[in-house]
Structure 1
Amino acid sequence: MIRQLDTDLEISSIPLVDLATQSRQIKEDVLRRMSDVIDSARYILGQEVQEFEEQFAAYCGVDHCVGLANGTDALHMALRALDVGEGDEVITAGNSFAATAFAIAYSGAQAVFVDIDPVDFNIDPNRIEAAITPRTKAIIPVHLYGQPAQMAAIREIADRHGLKIIEDAAQAHGAESNGQRCGSFGDIGCFSFYPGKNLGAFGDAGAAVTNDPELADRLRLLRNYGQKVKNRHDCLGYNCRMDTLQACVLLSKMQHIEDWTNSRRQVAAWYGEALAGTDLQLPVERDDARHVYHLYVVRHPQRDAIIESLAAKKIFCGVHYPHPLATATPFQDAKTFPEGLPVCTSAASAILSLPMYPEMTQQHVSMVAKALVDFGC
């Protein structure tokens, strides 16, 4: 589904994401599925949840998927399933969304932040070992913006030190490294289906995937009050199940995820061609990676002025994310490696997310590129 330049299309504005256009494509199918749920009253853990879990597990190349209420719960339940808790430390990247660090805190463990690779914006494997202590229990690599972290190197470090790996794949549905899907490298992979994600619900939803049947069973217990049998509580559980109505949306979208991913990659290619002569630092797709471009993030020292200039032309950008996690109030006492996270800090002041969604045409990209060139990039 590649959209060519349409010179007759009148474009009044370009949002950062366009959920409404995508939703119209699947509306009838979603409503049909939801109608079946309403008629049957299968609102909680209905058959559609199981159907989605089976499809998404196959998509990720794993044996098990457990549908959850959101991506934060996926990370939190993964930590609980692996018995991470009070007194433990969990290493993660310093530039993720707050949910990554919040989930660690919810488990009772301490987040330890490691700086990033300046090229792919993911955790720098060369910095990880300096952060490992006898209290370290797990590593949470984040596949930021849709580019896989360097999992072979991270896996080698984790295996050598006896550490668990929980992948934060909230932005990496279908991303690959050497042909292997994100979510399948670690002990557990965690996904968010927040509406703006590459695979998004019509509200909150998430999932954890694994090849370990015991971990899958543990996750199912944790999501549903510790129950395998109703009113028999085998462990301290939570209420973080995926709603059946959200599973309906995700089942509809699973039919399109690969087409939408290919469209995102085409938009990224158009950006690369259109912006090649500018002084923007463009994203780099590693040779081993299939980047799925949840976000198209560039760097420029005049980031804030660019956002203002493009907004005046009704082209809307974003910043993901404006502050390293260690600067947030709950984590100001956290350990950082190296101290102060210099690469994260430098990037946070310059990164800029350009409009990116599968329905963008080459004309949209040309308009964004022209606005950037007119600014002086």
Structure 2
Amino acid sequence: MNIPLIDLKAQYKSIAEDLDRVTKEVLSSANYIMGKNVIEFEKEFAEYIGVKHAISVGNGTDALVIALKSLGIGNGDEVITSTFTYFASAEAISAVGATPVFVDVEKETFNIDPTKIEEKITKKTKAIIPVHIFGQSARMDEINEIAKKYKLKVIEDAAQAVGSKYKGRMVGTLGDVACFSFFPTKNLSCAGDGGMIVTNDDSIATIATALRTHGSGENGQRAYNLLNNITEEVETFKGGDDTVYNPLKYYNYLIGFNSRLDAIQAAILRVKLPHLNVWNERRREIAKIFDRELKDSNVVVPTIDKENETVYHQYVLQSDDRESMLSRLKEKGVATGVYYPIPLHLQKVYKDLGYKEGDMPVAEYLSNRTFAIPVYPELTENEINYIVESIKA
């Protein structure tokens, strides 16, 4: 038996008719940039998360970059984040000219350790980016308390956690702004790249909306007026669509980006969003089986804090002899993935920041032990049992 880490074809087949239909509708409409599907998906996603504003962008990394820029973070600033995460969490900080400041994680949840944040705060610190790693929320009450004490902004990196909850509240509603990714492997995914910024702050939303399209047009003017305390009527173009021609886009007010969600991707995401809760619940069901069957084996199963409702973007195990385990699972046809082999503070690109081995012992320990096994919702009972038996063997 061969079981991939995630089976994108299986998900496609389950909703193929709807996906094919909406894709053809967008193609035949010839309205490829912004337009109805993007506007409607933003409304639907905002309603799902429970926020006032959802601003779609080209990918999850752009979401982080634009969120940081919308908060005025840039050269000379510092932003605190986890060292045990995907590179984009820190790369976005560097991309706006700020410096990432890394914090070690909790051994049980892999999330940023709130007890180690305060010691990293300096006069240059402007924000904290907690990463809800593998679909489980970070301890947001403690993080928000620290942020309030030092007047810092909180940007949730929720790329892996769409649909998860913390103390009954949706991830994405727990900070000043939150960022999501719709990369094909995510729980809610498109057929390419896509991302979303969500916030309840009108000013952040206005600036982010302008920044995603070159800081131009009516949105650029609104952001410019906001930043410069100007009160005036902003002209709105109603004579066509952005695919062909919008005369207002040739008037620029801010230095922004070209980061728009394609209409086809928005249409695909609109089809998938109503299925998300069911898919996430299926991931939790599979995880319960793994928890039960593997708890007495020679691997360590994930720990989920009691206040969290995780979505298991990854089901991550720990092994004292990871390489041997991965090799034998490969022989049995069970795909695995190592998340993450090198903590960010030890990445060569950040060598100049002066971190060394031993600075963040928990993340370094986990980086030598953790690996993910398949947990996608289309797994069959036979496949689940085969994964369990293969690990036990």
Q: Is the structural similarity TM-score above 0.5?
A: yes
Partner Cα separation in structure 2 for residue 322 and residue 338 of structure 1: 14
1:233 aligns with 2:222: no
1:201 aligns with 2:220: no
- Name the counterpart of 2:30: 41
Question: Where do 5+ consecutive residues of structure 1 fail to align?
Answer: 1-11
Partner Cα separation in structure 2 for residue 87 and residue 253 of structure 1: 41
- Name the counterpart of 1:322: 341
Distance apart, 1:303 and its partner CA: 0.7
CA displacement, residues 257-290 of structure 1 (integer Å, 9 cap, x when unaligned): 0110000000100101111211211101111000
Q: Which moved more, 1:29-38 or 1:267-276?
A: 29-38
Partner Cα separation in structure 2 for residue 69 and residue 119 of structure 1: 33
CA contact (8 A) 1:267 1:362 kept: no
Residue identity matched to 2:192: G
Distance apart, 1:339 and its partner CA: 6.1
Q: Tell me the number of residue pairs that the alignment of Structure 1 and Structure 2 aligns.
A: 363
Aligned partner (choices 207, 214, 219) of residue 218 of structure 1? 207
Equivalent residue runs for 1:7-46 within 5 Å: 12-46=1-35
Secondary structure of the equivalent of 1:214?
helix
1:60 aligns with 2:49: yes
CA contact (8 A) 1:166 1:189 kept: yes
Distance apart, 1:135 and its partner CA: 0.2
1:94 aligns with 2:83: yes
1:192 aligns with 2:211: no
- Name the counterpart of 1:261: 280
- Name the counterpart of 2:102: 113
1:142 aligns with 2:147: no
Q: Which moved more, 1:28-37 or 1:194-203?
A: 28-37
CA displacement, residues 327-376 of structure 1 (integer Å, 9 cap, x when unaligned): 112212336699621000000000010111001133222211111111xx
Secondary structure of the equivalent of 2:123?
coil
Residue identity matched to 1:349: N
Question: Where do 5+ consecutive residues of structure 2 fail to align?
Answer: 219-247
CA contact (8 A) 1:115 1:338 kept: no
1:353 aligns with 2:372: yes
Distance apart, 1:34 and its partner CA: 1.8
CA displacement, residues 71-127 of structure 1 (integer Å, 9 cap, x when unaligned): 000000000000100000000000110011110110000000000011110000000
Distance apart, 1:295 and its partner CA: 0.2
Provide runs of 4+ in structure 1 moved above 6 Å.
Answer: none
Residue identity matched to 2:342: H
1:155 aligns with 2:144: yes
Partner Cα separation in structure 2 for residue 71 and residue 336 of structure 1: 26
1:341 aligns with 2:360: yes
- TM-score w.r.t. the length of structure 1 is 0.94
Partner Cα separation in structure 1 for residue 326 and residue 186 of structure 2: 22
CA displacement, residues 123-149 of structure 1 (integer Å, 9 cap, x when unaligned): 000000000000000000000000000
- TM-score w.r.t. the length of structure 2 is 0.90
Partner Cα separation in structure 2 for residue 365 and residue 322 of structure 1: 26
Partner Cα separation in structure 1 for residue 70 and residue 191 of structure 2: 27
Distance apart, 1:219 and its partner CA: 0.6
Q: 1:338 to 1:321 in 2, by over 3 A?
A: closer
Equivalent residue runs for 1:272-291 within 5 Å: 272-291=291-310
Query: RMSD in angstroms over aligned alpha carbons?
Result: 1.3
- Name the counterpart of 1:51: 40
Partner Cα separation in structure 2 for residue 330 and residue 208 of structure 1: 27
Q: 1:149 to 1:337 in 2, by over 3 A?
A: farther
Secondary structure of the equivalent of 2:333?
coil
CA displacement, residues 137-196 of structure 1 (integer Å, 9 cap, x when unaligned): 000000000000000000000010000011000000001001111111111100000000
Secondary structure of the equivalent of 1:53?
helix
CA displacement, residues 280-312 of structure 1 (integer Å, 9 cap, x when unaligned): 111011110001000000111111111110000
Secondary structure of the equivalent of 2:38?
helix
